[in-house]
Amino acid sequence: MPTPPPPGMPDDPVAAALAECRFALVAAALFSGLLSILALAGAIYMLQVYDRVLTSRSVPTLVGLTLALAGALLIQGVLDIVRQRLLARIGAMVDRRLAVQVYALSVTIPVRVGARADAMQPSRDLDAVRGFVSSLGPTVFFDLPWTPVFIVLCFALHPWIGVAVLAGCLHLFAITLMTERATRGPMAIAAREAATRAVIAEASRRNAETIAAMGMRQALAERYGEVSSRLLRASDAATDAVSAYGTVSRILRLALQSGILGLGALLVLMEQATPGVMIAASILMGRALAPIEQAVAHWKSFVAARLGWRRLRDTIRALPDQPEVLALPLPRRTLTLDQVVCAAPGSREPILNGISLSLLAGQALGVIGPSASGKSTLARVMAGVWVPLRGSVRLDGAAFGQWSDEARGRFVGYLPQDIGLFDGTVAENIARFRPGAQAGDVVAAAEASGADAMIRSLPAGYDTRIGEGGVTLSGGQRQRVALARALYGQPFLVILDEPNANLDMEGEAAVTQAIRHVRERGGVAVVVAHRPSAIAAVDMVAVVREGHLQALGPRDEVLKRVTVTHRGGGRP
């Protein structure tokens, strides 16, 4: 469902990036043209030697011609090096232009398209595009326009030679088309299987401890192996096609090369051409056919790059960057949900069905309910992570989309159920990796979450590296650091999804204190919880059951009703 790009967004970012390199591209094309002309030096030399030196028997002419040829070859070598470097630079430039956008896609895809989508695909697509652009592949496109020129020159030598060369070109071209047909399908399959394999590898890396503990390695390796062999089969099919057609085209070219000599010899015997023409014809034909033969050789990486380019373009179009938005003031008054219906990204199956509620500055809402009732989903919708299918989530009357991502970070604090810390120092994690974060703000957030003393006791205090996901911290420590991150910068809206799941009594008291503090400074807090102790500091309680609000109201009233009607309500 690609949507048209908003105004100001390039319609095709890859094309736009290439267009920015147009000077380098034009230079590479010019060099290719010069190289094509210089490649004739050998033919001209041979013609001259045959037609002039051998008839005049002049050594000085031969020496002069040879020196000229040496000069031409030298220039040819230099131009070739420069051309290859230019192409490598163009590839790097395209990568640099798009790398940040591709990174943004890799974090947008999981929340917009769904967890099953392969977030790393755009990165592989960009690799394919860069790989082709920086190879000698593009020179095929630069050299191909010269093929007709060489054919015309062949016709100038003798019509029969022209006809023979033209027929040879058409045959090779037909082989190129057949290569295209034979590689397209397998290449698409290979790309798909590569994506699946990357997902398995990533998940295995993340859950390495689980795999080790329960001896799952063999079974997972088999799954990985199956996908790998499908990938290799498809890739082999493409490679086989390219090499088979490549061989056919090479043999055909060799045959043509000799055939044209034979034809030339016949013309010489019929006194319609000189021996020099015969040799020149052979060389000219080689030049005319070379780009077509090169095209067959580079076809696989060309198809990969083309697939990547298209997919990248479609992905970027479907998930456009946020358009520039008017800088609204940060919200200060209300959070309102109106008839919110919400599904997981990439799904139309509602998890929440018609949730309406409103919270004022200074209020805190406790969300309780059985497992899988939709509490975390509600938290995600309120934090603006998931976009509702229908209905709206508004802050001071404005929907989330009206703030830029950057602004949003200043009024939302979110502690997800799975915590989600990053490799970096404790301070960087708390400050959300914001460059130029103030130490005072970091410590204030840690104090508000009651984590300051714990953090100071770490080996390097706030500068302790915690590893990906915070692996070097205990479960409770991770939760405290993530709570500090949610409170960093005193955001208006603080959403905590089971903040006390891993906490001891002291930690729970800290959460309660933090919620109280958010309320006192005029913020809104939402706390998903199972234990009543965690919602000691809230004034409102919502009971979620099967995606509906079963009850909503002042805390004590709702809790009394829930315990009366469902003894032990929520999770046991």
Ligand X SMILES: Nc1ncnc2c1ncn2[C@@H]1O[C@H](COP(=O)(O)OP(=O)(O)OP(=O)(O)O)[C@@H](O)[C@H]1O
Q: Which chain residues interact with ligand X by CB under 6 A?
A: 115, 344, 347, 351, 369, 371-377, 417
Min dist CB 480 to ligand X, Å, is: 20
Helix or strand (DSSP H, E) at 241: helix 217-269
Window 318-357: contact mask with Mg ion (x via CB under 5 A): ----------------------------------------
Please, what is the minimum distance in Å from the beta carbon of residue 373 to Mg ion? 9
Query: Distance between CA 515 and CA 523 in Å, rounded?
Result: 9
In the chain, how long is the greatest CA-to-CA distance? 118
Contacts (Cβ under 8 Å, ≥6 apart) of 283: 40, 42, 43, 46
**Least gap, CB of 375 to ligand X (angstroms):** 3
- φ, ψ of residue 21 to 5 degrees: the values are -95, 20
Which listed residue (417, 502, 513, 533) binds Mg ion by CB under 5 A? 417
Chain-centroid distance of CA 147 in Å reads 37
- Which of these ranges, 169-177, 248-256, 285-293, 411-419, lies near Mg ion under the rule CB under 5 A? 411-419
Part of the chain binding Mg ion (CB under 5 A), chosen from 113-121, 146-154, 413-421, 488-496: 413-421
Q: Which does 351 bind (CB under 5 to 8 A by kind): Mg ion, ligand X, none?
A: ligand X
Cross-strand bridge partners of residue 540: 365, 554
Query: Cβ 342 to ligand X, closest distance in Å?
Result: 9
Cα–Cα distance for residue pair 159/227, rounded to 1 Å = 55
Three-class SS of 536-558: CCCCEEEEEECCEEEEEEEHHHH
416 vs 532, which CB is nearer to Mg ion? 416
What 3-state class would DSSP assign to 258? helix
Q: Which is nearer to Mg ion, 376 or 550 (CB)?
A: 376
Of the two residues 135 and 533, which places its CB atom closer to ligand X in the complex?
533
Taking CB under 5 A as the binding criterion, the range among 126-134, 316-324, 369-377, 405-413 that sits at the site for Mg ion is: 369-377
Q: Which is nearer to ligand X, 463 or 546 (CB)?
A: 546
What is the nearest approach in angstroms of Mg ion to the Cβ of residue 372?
8
By the rule CB under 5 A, 376 interacts with Mg ion: yes
Give whichever of 110 and 275 is closer to ligand X, judged by the CB atom.
110
Query: Which of ligand X, Mg ion, none has residue 555 at its interface (CB below 5 to 8 Å by kind)?
Result: none
Tokens of 53: 């030196």
In whole angstroms, how close is the CB of 542 to ligand X at the nearest point?
12
Residues 6 or more apart whose CB falls under 8 angstroms from that of 418 comprise none
Beta bridge mates, 364: 525
139 binds, among Mg ion, ligand X, none (CB under 5 to 8 A by kind): none
Instruction: Assess 373 for contact with Mg ion (CB under 5 A).
Output: no
Between 298 and 478, whose beta carbon lies closer to ligand X? 478
In the complex with ligand X, the residue whose CB is nearer, 257 or 353, is 353
Listed as own residue / partner, the contacts of 261-265 with beta carbons closer than 8 Å and 24 or more positions apart are 263/160, 263/161, 263/164, 264/161
Query: Which one of Mg ion, ligand X, none interacts with residue 374, CB within 5 to 8 A by kind?
Result: ligand X
| Nearest alpha carbon to residue 340 among 391, 374, 389, 386 | 391
Q: In this structure, are strands 398-399 and 390-395 parallel, antiparallel, or unpaired?
A: antiparallel
Is 5 in a helix, a strand, or coil? coil
200 neighbors 319 (Cβ within 8 angstroms): no
- From CA 113, how far away is CA 102, in angstroms rounded? 15
Hey, what amino acid is at 276? Answer: G
| Partner whose footprint covers residue 377, from Mg ion, ligand X, none (CB < 5 to 8 Å by kind) | ligand X
Report how many residues bind Mg ion under the rule CB under 5 A: 3
Query: C-beta of 419: minimal distance to ligand X in Å?
Result: 13
Give yes or no for a contact between 427 and 466, defined as CB atoms under 8 angstroms apart: no
Identify the CA nearest to 197 among candidates 208, 185, 189, 207.
Answer: 189
Sign (positive/negative) of CA torsion 540, 543, 549, 553? negative
CB of 498 to ligand X, least distance (A): 7
Assign 360 to helix, strand or coil.
strand
First to last CA, the chain: 43
Q: Which listed range, 68-76, 217-225, 263-271, 409-417, lies at the site for Mg ion (CB under 5 A)?
A: 409-417
Choice between 110 and 131, CB closer to ligand X: 110
User: 375 vs 519, which CB is nearer to ligand X?
Assistant: 375
Does residue number 249 form part of the binding site for Mg ion (CB under 5 A)? no
Q: Binds 479, which of Mg ion, ligand X, none (CB < 5 to 8 A, cut-off by type)? A: none
Q: Which residue's CB is nearer to ligand X, number 245 or number 386? A: 386
Q: Considering CB distances under 5 to 8 angstroms, the limit depending on partner class, which of Mg ion, ligand X, none binds residue 69?
A: none
Least separation in angstroms between CB 498 and Mg ion: 6
CB of 251 to ligand X, least distance (A): 55
Query: Could you tell me which stretch among 106-114, 386-394, 414-422, 550-558 binds Mg ion (CB under 5 A)?
Result: 414-422
Q: How far is 296 from 29, CA to CA, in rounded Å?
A: 20
Q: Which chain residues interact with Mg ion by CB under 5 A?
A: 375-376, 417
